[in-house]
């Protein structure tokens, strides 16, 4: 519907895309952003390189969302990863696909993506209010009144809330939008950190700070029967463990911890070798060089910094030669190679999370339009809604696709 007045709250990827689409369709659009600039979080994405989407098919795409991916099917159909790539390419921003189908700008600069979006806002005459924090949304009959600190109220026929989650609050996503949606009657599914590093009870991960372990398998257990396990790269940090593998599996671990379960991680340092193969390697080496110090022998199998930790955990005297290592001690070493244990204490604080799990309940949003099922003329898009995905460009695509769909629906 031409000439409709639409307000979009939040100038992140979802809000920008919603504003672009609604204005393309002929509406008068005001985009309100509390910061002095748009897309502060977008500039941090992909370590400043912006992994804007993933070049995989719809089904595998949906699978990468933690449980709620089906809700996004319509949004992805209306504005897919291919549409997003075409959006940038056709505006002169070249993209490339890296390992695991992750898509980045060829320039490796997130600012180029933001610049492309800003140009489109200008082209479509979207009015942008900077330094403008929305505090209330009041609906009177069919008219919305948007309250902004220190500014005059804005009246409009449709509102799209795109204020993000609650992590990295310094970028602007403070949770105010969630409160405003709650005041309008919406439920917020409990907010938890997603894609987050894990703090450990054991001290040794902190001693290994900065050490990456590639191609290892990590298995998390909830202390009972449930386990999750994957191969990839882990990083020891000053607080415990992180890295792509830990971030990917952290969602499930956070939920277990929240339920008060005792969560253990077990690292298999040699996933390609069976216990018997590792033991055979030990025995062979023990036979060939019995006088070799155990410390030197372990060098062929472990990163230097892990050796002291291994000797400490197995209780083997560091000065022993391999011939002095007892059968019991050899067995202990074997266990450490295949199941190096780490007890997880808690996730890092939610503000440090790459994504907020939880958000506006999907039951209250129409997936075909992103309109609230409770309040006519109110739309919700981006991280504020209860969807979250693995790393790989899925979260940004969800923000762009839901923003696009909300903008299109609000305009119609
Ligand atoms: C360090 C980091 C790296 C990431 N890397 C990637 C990646 O490479 N690929 C990927 O897919 N995802 C990545 N993500 C996730 C991705 O950045 C988010 O999913 C995405 O930014 C969500 O977009 P959004 O528009 O919903 O919210 P946001 O980007 O959070 O934008 C919300 C906007 O709303 C504004 N706002 C909030 N409240 C108000 C208010 N009351 N009034 C006015 N304005 C308001 C905020 O200032 C902000 O500008 C990363 C996240 C982090 C933290």
Which atom of ligand 1 is closest in space to residue 16's alpha carbon?
Answer: 25
Choose the residue to mutate in 100, 147, 247, 395 for probing ligand 1, maximizing ligand atoms within 8 Å of C-beta.
395
The structure tokens listed for 283 are 């025995």
* Distance in angstroms (rounded) separating the CA atoms of residues 240 and 246: 11
Where do the DSSP E strands lie in 153-226?
A: 154-156, 158-161, 188-194, 198-200, 212-221
The CA distance from 33 to 6, in Å, is 14
CA distance 246 to 264: 13
Nearest to 132 by CA among 9, 7, 5, 17: 9
Overall size of the chain counted in residues: 412
CATH of 197-347, one of 1.10.10.10, 3.40.50.2300, 1.10.8.50, 1.10.3720.10: 1.10.8.50
Query: What is this structure's pTM?
Result: 0.94
Q: Which atom of ligand 1 is nearest to the CA of 51?
A: 8
Q: 302 CA distance to ligand 1 centroid (A)?
A: 40
Please report, in tens digits, the pLDDT of each residue of the chain (412 residues total). Answer: 567 999 999 999 999 999 999 999 999 999 999 999 999 999 999 999 999 999 999 999 999 998 899 999 999 999 999 999 999 999 999 999 999 999 999 999 999 999 999 999 999 999 999 999 999 999 999 999 999 999 999 999 999 999 999 999 999 999 999 999 999 999 999 999 999 999 999 999 999 999 999 999 999 999 888 899 999 999 999 999 999 999 999 999 999 999 999 999 999 999 999 999 999 988 888 889 889 999 999 998 999 999 999 999 999 999 999 999 999 999 999 999 999 999 999 999 999 999 999 999 999 999 999 999 999 999 999 999 999 999 999 999 999 999 999 999 999 8
Q: Which atom of ligand 1 is nearest to the CA of 45?
A: 5
Fold entry, domain 5-192+355-411: FAD/NAD(P)-binding domain (3.50.50)
Encode 189-228: b = buried (16+ Cβ within 10 Å), e = exposed.
eebbbbbbbbbbebebbeebeebebeebbbebbbeeeeee
Domain ranges of the chain: 5-192+355-411, 197-347
Residue 110 zone, left/alpha/beta (φ > 0; ψ -120 to 50; rest): alpha
> CB–CB of 312/158 below 8 Å?
no
Distance CA 407, CA 27 (A): 10
The closest residue, in CA terms, to atom 26 on ligand 1 is 382
State phi, psi for 13 to the nearest 5 degrees: -55, -40
Q: Which residues line ligand 1 (CB under 6 A)?
A: 9-15, 32-35, 40-42, 44-46, 51, 133-134, 162-164, 167-168, 172-174, 176-177, 354-355, 382-383, 393-396, 399
**Closest atom, ligand 1, to C-alpha of 32:** 43
Closest atom of ligand 1 relative to the 389 alpha carbon:
11
Distance 231 CA to ligand 1 centre (A): 29
Ligand 1, atom 37: nearest CA belongs to which residue? 163
Neighbours of 294 (CB within 10 A): 24
């Amino acid at each position: 519907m031409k000439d409709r007045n639409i307000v979009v709250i939040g100038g992140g990827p979802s809000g920008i895309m919603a504003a672009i689409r609604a204005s393309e369709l002929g509406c008068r659009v005001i985009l309100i952003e509390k910061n002095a600039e748009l897309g502060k979080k977008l500039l941090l994405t992909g370590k400043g390189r912006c992994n804007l989407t993933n070049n995989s098919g719809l089904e595998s795409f949906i699978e990468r969302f933690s449980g709620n991916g089906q809700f996004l099917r319509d949004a992805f159909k209306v504005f897919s990863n291919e549409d997003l790539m075409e959006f940038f390419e056709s505006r002169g921003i070249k993209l490339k696909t890296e390992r695991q189908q992750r898509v980045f700008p060829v320039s490796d600069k997130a600012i180029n993506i933001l610049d492309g979006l800003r140009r489109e806002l200008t082209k479509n005459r979207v009015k942008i209010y900077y330094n403008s924090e929305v505090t209330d949304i009041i609906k009177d009959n069919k008219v919305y009144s948007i309250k902004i600190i220190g500014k005059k109220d804005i009246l409009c026929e449709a509102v799209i809330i795109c204020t993000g989650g609650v992590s990295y609050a310094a970028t602007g996503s403070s949770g105010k939008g969630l409160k405003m949606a709650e005041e309008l009657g919406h439920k917020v599914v409990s907010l938890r950190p997603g894609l987050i590093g894990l703090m450990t009870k054991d001290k040794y991960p902190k001693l290994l700070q900065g050490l990456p372990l590639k191609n290892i398998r990590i298995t998390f257990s909830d202390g009972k029967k449930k386990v999750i396990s994957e191969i990839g790269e882990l990083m020891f940090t000053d607080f415990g463990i992180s890295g792509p593998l830990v971030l990917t599996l952290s969602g499930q671990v956070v939920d277990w911890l929240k339920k008060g379960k005792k969560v253990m991680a077990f690292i298999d340092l040699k996933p390609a070798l069976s216990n018997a193969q590792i033991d055979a390697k030990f025995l062979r080496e023990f036979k060939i060089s019995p006088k070799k110090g155990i410390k030197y022998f372990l060098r062929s199998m472990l990163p230097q910094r892990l050796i002291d930790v291994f000797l400490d955990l197995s209780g083997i005297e560091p000065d022993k030669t391999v011939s002095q290592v007892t059968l019991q001690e050899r067995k202990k070493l074997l266990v450490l190679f295949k199941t190096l244990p780490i007890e997880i204490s808690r996730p890092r604080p939610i503000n440090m999370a790459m994504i907020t799990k939880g958000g506006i309940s999907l039951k209250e949003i129409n997936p075909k339009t992103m309109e609230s099922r409770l309040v006519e003329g109110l739309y919700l898009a981006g991280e504020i809604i209860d969807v979250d995905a693995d790393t790989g460009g899925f979260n940004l695509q969800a923000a762009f696709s839901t923003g696009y769909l909300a903008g299109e629906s609000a305009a119609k």
